[in-house]
Amino acid sequence: MLTLQEVSQLMEKLDNWVLDGQSIVKEIEFPDFKSAIAFVNKVAEASEKHNHHPEIIITFNIVRLSLTTHSAKSLTELDFKVAEDIDKIK
List the domains of the chain with CATH numbers. 4-87 (3.30.1360.20)
d(CA 33, CA 55) in angstroms, rounded, equals 18
Q: Has residue 24 got a pLDDT over 90?
A: yes
In 3D space, the residue among 25, 75, 22 whose CA is nearest the CA of residue 55 turns out to be 25
pLDDT tens, residue by residue, 32-78: 999 999 999 999 999 999 999 999 999 999 999 999 999 998 999 99
pLDDT tens, residue by residue, 45-54: 999 999 999 9
pLDDT of residue 5: 96
In 3D space, the residue among 63, 70, 8 whose CA is nearest the CA of residue 38 turns out to be 63
Judged by DSSP in three states, 62 sits in strand
Q: What residues are paired with 62 via a beta bridge?
A: 29, 59
Element of type H or E holding 25: strand 23-29
